[in-house]
Amino acid sequence: MTKFALVCGAGGFIGNHLVRRLKTEGFWVRGVDLKFPEFGETEADDFVVGDLREQRVVDAVIDRRYDEVYQLAADMGGAGYIFTGEHDADIMHNSATINLGVVDRAHKRNIRRIFYSSSACMYPAYNQEDPDNPNCKESSAYPAAPDSEYGWEKLFSERLFLAYNRNHGMSNRVARYHNIFGPEGTWTGGKEKAPAAVCRKVAMAANNGEIEIWGDGNQTRSFLYIDECIEGTIRLTRSEFEGPVNVGSDEMVTINQLVEIVSDIAGKTLHKNHVPGPLGVRGRNSHNQLIEEKLGWRPTQSLRKGLEATYAWIETQVRRNAA
């Protein structure tokens, strides 16, 4: 029997990859987003261009029961978008409105389970001041003190989905994604994340040239390759565990190390020029004990392998843009 899935945010980076994966599994997939995917055609059977802040759009796409519903739509961006403070009201209003509308409509259509993508940005800033020793254990979330309104909204919405579990018999699933990267992600324009920004800068730099890095480059992060993000998402959705659980890599690197790996992949020697810029917390790394315990699975692919695929794709984009 055909299975039906709804992907909210299907025009985005992760949503587009998720649609592709569900299609390989034989699902009939409906996608909804403000826009079609930026790179390549969507593989969704039905794609609705619509604004999920509008209840009539939510009602129209959740017009039947689905076997799986993924809620990835959010107003988001890289450090250049989230941490300047200029978009705080939009980020909170837009994303919360989407989540409030989607979960309530699903409940009223007797849909039991929605996967919701929260973010590591909801972890308290005070646990992420030491770049060598950040604490992102799931149980460290409270007392809450995210460093951005984006993180506060994620925390609110994960509580919202779990409250529907407690009060309305739903069995929603909540993952906390940590820095997802890969081909077909935003790579320019201000909303791109560190791996894409570094790949672009390295691809554009001449050998023995210079590369600009925000801050001293000693801030630490981990980055999860898109295929493993999709795997974790699907495994959690189909599991008996509601979360919240980290879906991230625990291979922590400094931004300087990230630049060195990408330069090495590109075969370039580059001088690092440290400039002021929005930075976020000093350190962040996924803690993967809980996912291993509950799902018997954790991401294991090396950062370098994912960067090789991502660099190859971004280098092609850079060359195409220059032509």
Please give the residue ranges that form the binding site for ligand NAD (CB under 6 A). Answer: 9, 11-15, 33-35, 51-53, 72-76, 94, 98, 117, 119, 177, 179-180, 193
Q: Considering the complex, state which of residue 72 and residue 141 has its C-beta at the smaller distance from ligand NAD.
A: 72
Amino acid found at 80: G
Q: Contact at 8 Å (CB) between 61 and 27?
A: no
CB atoms within 10 A of CB 222: 23
Q: Name the nearest CA neighbour of 150 among 44, 281, 30, 290.
A: 281
How, if at all, do strands 173-177 and 220-221 pair? Answer: unpaired
Distance of alpha carbon 291 from alpha carbon 293, whole angstroms: 5
Query: Which CB atom, from 34 or from 100, has the smaller least distance to ligand NAD?
Result: 34
Closest to 138 (Cα-Cα) out of 156, 152, 123 = 123
Catalytic residue of the set 81, 116, 150, 177: 150
Compare residues 96 and 213 and give the one whose CB is closer to ligand NAD.
96
Q: Give the C-alpha separation, 252 to 88, whole Å.
A: 28
Q: How many helices (H) and strands (E) does the chain have?
A: 10, 13
**Residue 176 parent element (H or E):** strand 173-177
User: Between residues 200 and 205, which has the closer beta carbon with respect to ligand NAD?
Assistant: 200
Residue nearest to ligand NAD (CB): 12
Residue 314 CB, nearest approach to ligand NAD (Å): 15
User: Closest separation between CB of residue 179 and ligand NAD, Å?
Assistant: 5
Q: Is 311 in the active site? A: no
- Of 220, 213, 211, give the one whose Cα is nearest residue 178: 220
Maximum Cα–Cα distance for the chain, whole Å? 60
Cβ(228)–Cβ(299) below 8 Å: yes
Report in angstroms how near the CB of residue 298 gets to ligand NAD at its nearest.
17
- Rounded least distance, CB 210 to ligand NAD, Å: 27
**Residue 57 CB, nearest approach to ligand NAD (Å):** 7
Q: Are 202 and 311 in contact (CB under 8 A)?
A: yes
* Of residues 13 and 27, the one with the C-beta less far from ligand NAD: 13
- Catalytic residue positions? 150
